[in-house]
Chains A and B, each alone.
Chain A
Amino acid sequence: MHAEPANAEEVATLLRDADGRGLAVLPRAGGTKLDWGNPPARAGVTLSLARLNRILEHAWADLTVTVEAGCTMAALQQALAQHGQRLAIDVLWPERATVGGVLSCNDSGVLRLAYGSLRDLVIGITLVLADGTIARSGGKVVKNVAGYDLPKLATGAMGTLGIITQATFRLHPLPRHTLTLSLPAGTIETAQALLLEMQRAGLAHTALQLRCAANAGPHMDILLEGTEAGMASQASRIQGFAPFVEGSAAIWGTREEIAGSSNVAKFSVLPSQIGNTIAAVERFHDPHWRAVVQATGIGWLALSAPLMELRSQLEREGGSLMILRPPGTDAWGNPGDSLALMRALKRQFDPKGTLNPGRFAGGI
């Protein structure tokens, strides 16, 4: 079954009805990340948010935007750019990925180092619960501590607590100038040391990543944004650390290339553990592996190998590994000792397990 409601009220009616009849509801919009997470535990109604695609209010002078969940990220960014602004996040497949989808999957790219992830950018949401309750939380102002921060709770929840029908974000100015600097960074050990040194140096780069692949040394890329004078002085400081040269902005698309592979995982480690992680990947001797790791410690990996083994190793060091493709028994890994609390939240929001059953961490 497939439903395409046109507004939050219709979403609420559909949800209440399905919940009452014991049918599972599987929300979707652009369909770019349907294979992320565990496969749903049961079939049900596919609920598409594609028709909720309006930009409701771009309050450019207040640097905020309110937009419906089915609007694509590309359409949103295009509208914001007319006033020289952006939502400071670079997501996968923006032509198709939607606001609600990226929020629910907590996608983030290279800009995260400077601007944070969606949890730091979303300031309000409308959430429709399984029983049809339409709940608004947060608001339209950047600073607001009235009540619980449900926008953060819904971000990355894979639609298991409720369906996001609209969201409000804080915006940032589009940079006037950008510059990409790149460098072959020697061995993974020297690359790790350089990365920590750059992060300690009080520079003002927007992004910093390591690109790694089988049979090739790591490359480091740095993205600068700002005034021409500011960037020139930054570039010369950076060249004092290592002989970086101006590179192509196309390399910032490496994450998207890797994310499209048939064996792909997202991992998160401490910045000081990036080198060890890549060294562990190398030990699987896959002749075609590729990875890109941000200075935040979040990496994307295309690797044909027993990923569960790598996951155990990362978890021992306080990290995590999410298997995005191919689907397996557990995409998420160990959520730790707060799993019971997560299940209690799920029971409060969706007691019958109607929304995306089984797709989330810990089988939620």
Chain B
Amino acid sequence: MNLNSEVLCELRSIVGGRGLFSAPEDLRTYECDGLTNFRVVPSAVVLPETTEQVQAVVRVCHRERIAFVARGSGTGLSGGALPIAGGIVIGLARMNRILEVDLPNARVVVEPGVINLDVTARISPAGYFYAPDPSSQSVCSIGGNVAENSGGAHCLKYGFTTTHVLALEVVLPDGTLVHLGNKTLDAPGYDLPGIFVGSEGTLGVATKITLRIVKRPECVQTLLAAFHSTTEAGAAVSGIIAAGMLPAAIEMMDNLAIQAAEAAVHANYPNCGGLLLVELDGPAAEVLARMKHLDEICRGNGAWEIRVAQTEGERALFWKGRKAAFASVGRISPNYIVQDGVIPRTALPDVMTEIARLSGAAGLRVANVFHAGDGNLHPLVLYDRRIAGQESAAEALSFQILELCIEKGGSITGEHGVGEEKKNIMSKMYAEPDLDTMQRVRCAFDPWLLSNPTKVFPRPRLCGDQPGEYAPHPLEIAGVAERF
């Protein structure tokens, strides 16, 4: 479906000629995000530069009942920024200013297109950092992080995006501008930032975000330990937790993931069955005392090689292999699926055994990378698209792993989001009344179902008390939504 020329003219008058794309060759760039097996070409892309422009664009969408999808850097891995057929994409990359840095109060105000790592770059001379650190942090945007409630290796200790967002300026799906939360804590009323962060673009478009920043700890030390198996490494993780430690990060990789990382970035990892990276931070005396204890726990659980990074360069190299793990798998397989599931950490040995069994049964290799401290698994299912049937077998295997996560009391996503990819499996994790209750939130924010309407839920709920005259919603006509 194409937008009529009057609407295009109106959008052009809002964002200017260089802020609107409608030619097919330009629109192709926006047909997918980091999950490339779903592609939809939007009807138009606008690149606003101000909140007022976002508001004006959304007002047009509201008036014309055009669905819109907000997009940051497009690095998302669940298809959250996948365009809607007939809809428009609001790209926020040009709203990339850091508006305010308030060091005494440890707050930073940014526009949504600001790159995650640029926040830390701006404040690190003063000894602060922005804690959420998804592996894509050098390219992903804060607005996208807000949509997905992004995590990262260090959220074990420091929390997720939602822990670090105090307030938001948001354009609601009818074009109203509202302020959620406050730069001070416990603002009167409902925790609207709490519900907005992680809503995957379905509740409106954030145009300004107030972040909490963190003072860098006095000392950071990273330990790398090689085990014969992920089971041994998992037992060491249990030992660390039982000892009452809260490391800044605990990461695990299996042998296939190690091989991939070695091939790609030469991190000089030992060739072992299970590798742990553990980072401790805090006061130097505390870190040194705990590091000694950590060494004992790892050796007690079968670690046959332990290294502690001696220089900042060595520490960066330890992390480089881990952060590059997803991309590295391209070195050992032509195609692969990055999956994201969560299990109670103690279920790890069982789940690893079961993943190995499923992998064997499907005849496909699975490389495993985990945020082991919080039970967040990233199985990478390897396949070759050129071999008939392998792609669908790989998809099936990756969903079997998610069902395994649900069975163990876990979640279908720890940080990548539901998006387009996992919306149908939501009904395996939650019962109808649970999903229906969540959709009441969407009805309060977006009764017209305009803001990223086809994502997250298996079937969008059309809101009964929709103001105005009844007219069938385009999604209802298309059979993808129903009225409650």
Contact, CB under 8 Å: B437 / A133: yes
A-chain residues with CB within 8 Å of residue B238 when the two chains form the complex: 61
How many residues of chain B are within 8 Å of chain A by beta carbon?
A: 94
Asked if A320 contacts B199 (CB within 8 A), the reply is no
Contact A230 B282 (CB under 8 A): yes
Q: Is A173 an interface residue (CB 8 A)?
A: yes
Q: A229-B286, A318-B182 are in contact. Are A146 and B412 (CB under 8 A)?
A: yes
**Chain B residues whose CB sits within 8 angstroms of the CB of A61 once the complex forms:** 238, 241-242, 345-346
Closest A residue to B172 by beta carbon equals: A341
List A residues 329-364 near B (Cβ within 8 Å): 332-342, 344-345, 347-349, 360-362
CB distance from B411 to the nearest CB of A (A): 4
Most A Cβ at <10 Å: residue of B188, B409, B413: B188
Whether a CB of chain B sits under 8 angstroms from the CB of A120 is yes
Highest count of chain B CB atoms <10 Å: which of A134, A135, A174, A201: A135
Residues in B whose Cβ lies below 8 Å from that of A120: 159, 163
Which residues on the A side are within 8 Å of B85 (C-beta)? none
Q: Determine, out of B7-15, B49-57, B136-144, B190-198, the stretch whose residues face the partner at the interface.
A: B190-198
Q: Say if the beta carbon of A77 comes within 8 Å of chain B.
A: no
Residues from chain A with a CB closer than 8 A to the CB of B413 are 144-146
Number of interface residues of A (CB under 8 A): 88
Residues of A within 8 A of B308 (CB): none
Chain B residue numbers with a CB within 8 Å of A226 are: 282-283, 286
Minimal Cβ-Cβ distance residue in B for A336: B179
Please name all residues of chain B whose beta carbon is closer than 8 Å to the beta carbon of A64 when the two chains form the complex: 344
Interface string of A166-210 (1 = CB under 8 A from B): 000000111010000000000000000000100111111000000
B289 and A230 contact, CB distance less than 8 A:
yes
Give Cα A139 to B426, complex, Å: 13
The interface bits of chain B over 302-327 (1 if a CB of A lies within 8 angstroms of the residue's CB, else 0) are 00000000000000000000000000
Q: Write the chain B residue with the least CB distance to A331.
A: B188
Indicate if B162 sits at the interface (CB-CB under 8 A): yes
Contact A348–B443 (Cβ < 8 Å): yes
Q: In the assembled complex, how far is the CB of residue B278 from the closest CB belonging to chain A, in whole angstroms?
A: 16
Residues of A contacting B344 in the complex (Cβ-Cβ under 8 angstroms): 59, 62, 64, 140-141
| Complex: A232 Cα to B185 Cα, angstroms | 32
A231 to B289, CA, bound (A): 11
In the complex, are the beta carbons of A204 and B197 less than 8 A apart? no
CB-CB < 8 A to B160: which residues of A?
143, 145
**Cross-chain contact A204 with B286 (CB below 8 angstroms):** yes
Complexed CA–CA distance, A202 and B218 (Å): 6
Give, as a whole number of angstroms, the nearest-CB distance from B277 to chain A.
17
Mark out the residues of chain A between 128 and 182 whose CB falls within 8 Å of any chain B CB in the assembled complex.
Answer: 129, 133-137, 139-150, 152-153, 155-157, 161, 172-174, 176
Complex CA gap A149/B440 in Å reads 13
Q: Do B375 and A227 touch (CB < 8 A)?
A: no
CB-contacts of A103-136 with B (<8 A): 106, 116-117, 119-120, 127, 129, 133-136
Our pick among A62, A149, A338 for the contact of B345 (Cβ within 8 Å) is A62
Cβ of B342 to closest chain A Cβ, rounded Å: 5
Cβ of A264 < 8 Å from any Cβ of B?
no
Chain B hits for A136, CB < 8 A: 430-431, 434
A336 and B282 contact, CB distance less than 8 A = no
Interface contacts (Cβ under 8 Å), in number, total 274
A117–B163 Cα distance when bound, in Å, is 10
The yes or no answer to A18 lying at the interface (CB within 8 A) is no
Taking a contact as CB atoms closer than 8 A, the residue among B192, B245, B371, B441 that contacts A173 in the complex is B245
| Given the contacts A227-B290, A233-B285, A119 and B194 also touching, CB distance less than 8 Å | yes
Q: Is the CB of B438 within 8 A of A150?
A: yes
**Contact across chains for A342 and B190 when beta carbons are under 8 A apart:** yes
Q: Which among B59-67, B148-156, B390-398 touches the partner chain?
A: B148-156
In this complex, the member of A61, A119, A149, A231 whose beta carbon has the largest number of chain B beta carbons within 10 angstroms is A149
Q: Check B415 against A145 for contact (C-beta < 8 Å).
A: yes
Complex CA distance for A238 and B245, rounded to whole angstroms = 23
| Contact call B189/A148, Cβ cutoff below 8 A | no
Of residues 62 to 121 in A, which have CB atoms within 8 Å of B's CB atoms?
A: 62-64, 84, 106, 116-117, 119-120
B189 and A204 form a contact (CB under 8 A): no
Q: In residues 287-346 of chain A, which contact B (Cβ within 8 Å)?
A: 296-298, 318-320, 322, 332-342, 344-345
CB distance from A91 to the nearest CB of B (A): 14
Is residue A239 within 8 Å, beta carbon to beta carbon, of the partner chain? no
Is B436 an interface position by the 8 A CB rule? yes
CA distance A134 to B440 in the complex (A): 14
B189 partner, pick from A119, A147, A361, beta carbons under 8 A: A361
Instruction: Decide if A269 is an interface residue (CB 8 Å cutoff).
Output: yes
- Bitwise interface map of A from 226 to 258 toward B, beta carbon under 8 Å scored 1, else 0: 110111111001000000000000000000000
Given A148-B198, A172-B246, A320-B182: A141 in contact with B189 (beta carbons within 8 A) = no
Q: Mark B172-188, 1 if CB is under 8 A from A, else 0.
A: 10001111101111111
**Is B178 a contact of A341 with CB atoms below 8 Å?**
yes
- A202 to B213 CA separation, bound complex (whole angstroms): 12
A298 contacts B186, C-beta separation under 8 Å:
yes
Given the interface pairs A141-B342, A199-B106, the reply to whether A338 lies near B179 with Cβ below 8 Å is: yes
**Contact status B185-A143, CB under 8 Å:** no
Decide if A139 touches B409 in the complex (CB within 8 Å).
yes
A338-B437 contact given A147-B418, A200-B103, A230-B285, CB 8 Å threshold: no
Cβ contact of A152, chosen from B162, B411, B418, B440, cutoff 8 A: B162
Task: Give complex CA distance A270, B244 in Å.
Answer: 33
Kindly state whether residue B215 has any CB partner on chain A within 8 Å: yes
Could you tell me if B188 and A229 are in contact, using CB atoms closer than 8 angstroms?
Answer: no
Given the interface pairs A233-B283, A271-B104, the reply to whether A143 lies near B343 with Cβ below 8 Å is no
Contact across chains for A336 and B189 when beta carbons are under 8 A apart: yes
Q: How far is the CA of A142 from the CA of B176 in the complex (A)?
A: 34
In the complex, the answer to whether A141 meets B185 with C-beta atoms within 8 Å is no
Q: Is A272 an interface residue (CB 8 A)?
A: yes
The answer to whether the Cβ of B113 comes within 8 Å of any Cβ in the partner chain is: no
The CA of A64 and the CA of B342, in the complex, are separated in Å by: 14
Query: Do the beta carbons of B371 and A137 come within 8 Å of each other?
Result: no
- The answer to whether B410 has its CB under 8 Å from any CB of chain A is yes
Is A53 among interface residues, defined by CB-CB distance under 8 A?
no
Residue of A with least CB distance to B346: A61
A155–B191 alpha-carbon span in the complex (Å): 8
Flag whether A48 is at the interface (Cβ < 8 A): no
Q: A106-B186, A147-B434, A150-B437 are in contact. List 5 more A-B contacts (CB 8 A).
A: A133-B437, A202-B218, A227-B285, A338-B178, A341-B180
Q: Can you list 19 residue pairs at the A/B interface with Cβ under 8 Å?
A: A119-B194, A141-B343, A141-B411, A144-B413, A146-B429, A149-B149, A152-B162, A157-B191, A200-B104, A203-B218, A203-B283, A227-B286, A230-B283, A338-B189, A341-B178, A348-B440, A348-B443, A360-B189, A361-B188
Binding site for A on B (CB under 8 A): 103-106, 127, 148-149, 151, 155, 159-160, 162-163, 172, 176-180, 182-192, 194-195, 197-199, 215-218, 238, 241-242, 244-246, 282-290, 342-346, 371, 374-376, 409-418, 422, 426, 429-431, 433-438, 440-445, 456-457, 463, 465
7 tightest A-B CB contacts, nearest first = A230-B286, A152-B194, A173-B244, A135-B437, A233-B285, A335-B189, A348-B440
